[in-house]
Amino acid sequence: MSDAGGVDGHVARRRFGQNFLSDPNTIARIVSAIRPQADEIMVEIGPGLGALTAPLIGGLGHLHVVEIDRDLIARLHERFDAAQLTVHEGDALKFDFAALAGALGANLRVVGNLPYNISTPLLFHLAGVADHLRDMIFMLQKEVVARMAAAPGTAEYGRLSVMLQYRFRIGRLFDVPPGAFRPAPKVTSSIVRLLPLPPEARRAKDEAVFGRVVAAAFGQRRKTLRNTLRAFLDEDDFAALMLDPGLRGERLAVADYVAIANYCCGSRQR
């Protein structure tokens, strides 16, 4: 099950989520949405066969990439020299973006046509280093982008929406059909932009507590807050927060979750 068809002499690996962009108009549209400018510090996740890499280097002069597939890494070294490209070999889920930003002394722009099989954990990983990012522009499965940007009360709204909207302004840009890739994926894709909010806009006193409250609220989607947040709030606490314990987690805005987390930090040791 690891192979899904040959592209330019490379056998696409499903386990690495390899669907390579092949439509020149789509590639040009994505690069123009990214707008690479000379001397910006940019990291591309999953450069693959270089469909975005080459035009990005054209705009920037130099690009960092994180790639896991050794065959593709060898091809990248053949095609680009060290003055143009720094290849970080390995798993983007484990890559220390904060350390790279620290070493280079600049916040990073992070872009990529992401491997869809790891997109959610990768977004959580990147959310943890929001203070070291200038912006991010990604191609993802359309349904994932809908979840990222979802409003409270909708079916798509969940833990991913709350955790990302707490840290980023999220903008959906445009859709990309399966025919723009080789091999073609089964799903439609979307381009999304994430702009970090200023640190002062993030009002949780303890972001770990905030994360735990949000995870609990969405852990069992069909249950009410009275049940899902039992470990954090009793009936009096709900009353003090002026929240209806009969609601489900999907009804609460990001600010409500911040208020709950701060109430837990401020009023009680839990």
Rounded to the nearest 10°, the torsion over CA 247, 252, 265, 235 is -20
For the residues of 118-144, what is the DSSP string, one character each?
GHHHHHHHHHTTGGGEEEEEEEEEHHH
Number of residues that bind ligand SAM (CB under 6 A): 24
Helix (H, G, I), strand (E, B), or coil: what is residue 109? strand
Is 124 a binding residue for ligand SAM by CB under 6 A? The answer is no
Cβ closer to ligand SAM: 20 or 218? 20
Q: Which of 47, 55, 158, 196 binds ligand SAM (CB under 6 A)?
A: 47
Supply angle C-alpha 109, 110, 113, rounded to 5.
145
Is 48 a binding residue for ligand SAM by CB under 6 A? The answer is yes
Residue 19: CB minimum distance to ligand SAM, A: 5
Is 192 a binding residue for ligand SAM by CB under 6 A? The answer is no
- Spatial separation of the C-alpha atoms in residues 8 and 179, rounded to whole Å: 17
Q: Which two tokens stand for residue 269?
A: 């040791």
Residue 16: CB minimum distance to ligand SAM, A: 4
Cβ closer to ligand SAM: 178 or 246? 178
Q: Which of 113, 190, 228, 262 binds ligand SAM (CB under 6 A)?
A: 113
Is 163 a binding residue for ligand SAM by CB under 6 A? The answer is no
Numbers of helices and strands, H then E, in the chain: 11, 11
Is 264 a binding residue for ligand SAM by CB under 6 A? The answer is no
Q: Which of 36, 55, 115, 211 binds ligand SAM (CB under 6 A)?
A: 115
- Give the distance from CA 230 to its chain's centroid: 30
Of residues 63 through 102, those in contact with ligand SAM by CB under 6 A are 66-69, 72, 91-93
Is 127 a binding residue for ligand SAM by CB under 6 A? The answer is no
Stretch binding ligand SAM (CB under 6 A), from 45-53, 77-85, 163-171, 253-261 = 45-53
Cβ closer to ligand SAM: 53 or 228? 53
DSSP 92: T
Residue 164: CB minimum distance to ligand SAM, A: 19
Contacting residues for 189 by C-beta, under 8 A, at least 6 apart: 113, 139, 140, 141, 142, 175, 176, 177, 178, 180, 181
Phi-psi region of 209 (alpha: psi -120 to 50; beta: other; left: phi over 0): alpha
- Spatial separation of the C-alpha atoms in residues 141 and 240, rounded to whole Å: 40
Residue 193: CB minimum distance to ligand SAM, A: 17
Cβ closer to ligand SAM: 107 or 119? 119
Binding site for ligand SAM (CB under 6 A): 16-21, 45-49, 51-52, 66-69, 72, 91-93, 113, 115, 118
